[in-house]
Structure 1
Amino acid sequence: MADAPHPEPHTDENTTDTDRAIADILAEMRTATSEHAVELGRRLVDLLDRRNALAATRTADIAAIAEGIDRAVHALDDAASSAELMRRACERAAELCSADKVVLSRLDGDRIIPVAAFSADPDTTPALPAGFGLPAGSPEARALETNTVTVGSQIPAELRETLGANGFTIVPVVVDGTAASLLHVGAVLDGSRRHALGVFAEVLGGHFERVGLESRRERQTALLRESARRWTGDDAPPSHGALDLAPSQADRDAAEQRLLEPLTEREAEVIRLILTGASNSAIAGELVITVDTVKSHVKRILRKLGATNRAELIAKYQSPAR
C-alpha cells in the first residue's frame, strides 16, 4: 500500500502563502514608483491583517486541541479494567480527532486483532472484524517501524466495514517499551490532530501498564489471602478435644497481615520456579541472574510468606490439588 504523505492543515498552507505574498510585495516596493508603492502598501496592510487573523485562528485551534487532550486523558484515569479502558480509549480518540469511527487492535506477532471499536452513530453497534496479517509496506507496518502517527488512504479490507473507506490515521500504543496495540482512526488528520493523537497514545500505553499491574497485584493478593487462610487454620477441621489448639483470630489477622506484604515481580518469578522444584542454580540460569541473587530473593520470599525453608514453602504454598 503506497500512501502519499498527507499535507499539513489549510491554515498552515494559507499562512505560508500569505508570508510568501508579503515577501514578494516587500521586494517589489524597493523598485516601485511612488504611486505604485502606495498601492503596494495597501495590499501589504491587508496581508498583514490576514496573517494576524490566521495566527489567532491557529492559536485558538491549538488551545481547543489541548483541552481535548486533557478531557481524553482524564476519562482514562479511573478505568477499572482493560475492557473498560479499551472502550473509553476508542470513544475519547474519536472525540479528540473529530472522527466518527475508531478501532483498537492488539498485536499478536505479525497479526492485528481488533478488540474494541466505536461508532458515532447511536443506532450502529460496530462489529469487530476478524484478525488480519500485517502487510509489508502498509501504513500499519510503517507506523510500527517508526513508532509515529501515520496517515493512510487505502484502508485494510478487513476494517472497511467498521472504519469506513475515506482514509484513516493510525498510531501504535506502546506498553512496557513494546508496541502492543494499534489505534485506527477513521479520518485523515492534520498536523495538530496527528500530534494530539500521538500524545493520547502515549498516555493510553501508560494506563494499560497501570491496569495490568493492578490486575497482577489483585491476583497476587487473592492468592496470598487464600494461603493465609490455609496456613492459619481456617480450613482445618474443628477441634473435638477439651483443649482448643486452633489459633486465635488475632493470630490469624497477624499472620495474614504478614503474608500480604507484596512480592516483587522478580520474587514472583523466583517462587514460580521454586514450586517446580528448581534448584538455585537452575533458577539463576533461567532468570539470567547470579546464584547469590537467587539466594537473596529466596530469603525475602521465605520471610514474606512465613516459611522457614524451601520444603515448608513448597508444602504450604502449593495448592492441595497440585
Structure 2
Amino acid sequence: MADVPEANSQPDTGDTELDRAVSGILTELRTATPERTAELGRRLADFLDRRKALVESRTDDIEAIASGIDGAVHALDDAASSTELMQRACERVAELCSARTVVLSRLEEDRIVPVVSFTTDPDITPSLPLGFDLAPGSPEEHALAANTVTVDELVPESMRNTLGNNGFSTVPVVVDGRAAAFVHVDTMLDPPRRHALSVFAEMLGGQFERVGLEARRERQDLLLRDSARRWSSNTDFDALSPRGAANSAPPPAENDVDRRLLDPLTEREADVVRLILTGASNASIAAELVITVDTVKSHVKRILRKLGATNRAELIAKYRSTPR
C-alpha cells in the first residue's frame, strides 16, 4: 500500500508533497477494494482541495508582490539625488521583502562599503556596518557572478550587529553595465520575494543612471553659465558698443571653452573634469556618477596626463586661463 498521509495530518503541504500524495492515492486506487476506494476518494478530494487552495494563495501572494514592485519603483521616480534614492530604496526593499533591516553598500573594486542602513523598528537607531572584502566563494561573489539574489544562513561578521544572525539575502545593483552596489536584507527570502528583489534591483540600477545623468546635466549647465559670466566680465566694453561691433568677431558659443579643454577626453572623463571644476572631492564624484572612488582616481590620473596638468589645482587654473 502506498504511504499516503492522512487528510487531517500536518505534512509539508508544498507542491512536491501534495503531488506525491495525490500520485500515491491514484496508484493505490487501481487495486483497492470498494471499501478502501471510498476512503481513498475522500482523501483524494481533500488533497486536491488543498492543492487548489495553495495555488490560489500563491497567486494572491504573487499579485501582491507585483503590486509592491510597481509601488516601490514609482516611489523612486522623483528622487532628486543619489543619497535620497538610496534611502528610499532601502525603505522600499524592507516593505517589499517584509524585512526589518536593509543595508545598501557601494562596491569598490573587491570591497563592499555600506553607505545606508534602514530598519523598520522604531526603537532602534540604524547603524552602519563596517566595510568588508568580497571574499572568494562568498554569497556576495555568487550573487555578483549570476547577477541574481543569493541567500545564506551565515551573515557576514561585520554586518551581524545590523542584520542579526538568522540568515540574509543579497543582490547586486548594476549601473551603466557594471555592478556598483549591493543590497542586503536580514531575512532568507522565499522564491517569489527573491524574484521581486531581483526585479527591484534592476530598476534601481536604472534610477541611479537617471539621477547621475540629471546631476551631470545640472553640473554642465552651471559650468556653462559660469563660463558665460566670466567671458562677459573679461570682454572689452568697446567690443560691445555699436561702433566696435562692426570690427569685432562674434562671441564664441558658450561651450566652446569646454570643448577645447575636453576634446582629448572620453565622455566619462569629461564628466569627471566638469565635477572637478566645481570643487567636488573624489568621494563626491563617485557618489554623483555612481562609480567607485578607485575608479574616480584612475580617471583623474588619465585626465591629468592627457591635459598636461600635475594636479587638480593646475587643471582648474588651466581651465580658467583658457582663452575666451
TM bucket, shorter chain: 0.7 to 0.9
Report the residue type matching 1:158 in the other structure.
S
1:32-85 deviation line (CA, Å, top 9, x unaligned):
112211111111111111111111101110011111101110111111000000
Tell me how far 1:255 sits from its aligned partner: 5.5
Counterpart in the other structure of 2:171: 171
Counterpart in the other structure of 1:6: none
Q: How does 1:6-155 map to 2 (within 5 A)?
A: 14-155=14-155
Tell me how far 1:256 sits from its aligned partner: 5.2
1:210 to 2:205 alignment: no
1:89-113 deviation line (CA, Å, top 9, x unaligned):
1110110000000000001111110
- Identical positions, percent: 58
User: Aligned pair count?
Assistant: 267
Instruction: Extract unaligned runs of 5+ from structure 1.
Output: 1-10, 274-285, 288-316
Structure 1 residues 245, 159: CA separation in 2 closer, same or farther (over 3 Å shift)?
farther
Counterpart in the other structure of 1:7: none
Question: Normalising to structure 1: TM-score of the pair?
Answer: 0.73
Structure 1 residues 246, 271: CA separation in 2 closer, same or farther (over 3 Å shift)?
farther
8 Å Cα contact 1:225/1:260 also seen in 2: no
Tell me how far 1:257 sits from its aligned partner: 9.7
Structure 2 CA distance for aligned equivalents of residues 64 and 185 of structure 1 = 19
Alignment RMSD: 3.6
Structure 1 CA distance for aligned equivalents of residues 162 and 83 of structure 2 = 19
Structure 1 residues 84, 59: CA separation in 2 closer, same or farther (over 3 Å shift)?
same
1:187-243 deviation line (CA, Å, top 9, x unaligned):
110000001000000000111111111111111111111222233x2454767x997
Structure 1 residues 272, 184: CA separation in 2 closer, same or farther (over 3 Å shift)?
closer
Q: How does 1:242-321 map to 2 (within 5 A)?
A: 266=266, 318-320=319-321
Structure 2 CA distance for aligned equivalents of residues 260 and 170 of structure 1 = 42
Report the residue type matching 2:211 in the other structure.
V
Structure 2 CA distance for aligned equivalents of residues 16 and 268 of structure 1 = 52
Question: Normalising to structure 2: TM-score of the pair?
Answer: 0.72
SS of the equivalent of 2:230 reads: helix
SS of the equivalent of 1:220 reads: helix
Structure 1 residues 243, 178: CA separation in 2 closer, same or farther (over 3 Å shift)?
closer
Counterpart in the other structure of 1:221: 221
Structure 1 residues 39, 257: CA separation in 2 closer, same or farther (over 3 Å shift)?
same
1:240-284 deviation line (CA, Å, top 9, x unaligned):
x9978589xxx99x95599999x99956758999xxxxxxxxxxx
8 Å Cα contact 1:151/1:170 also seen in 2: yes
Tell me how far 1:121 sits from its aligned partner: 1.4
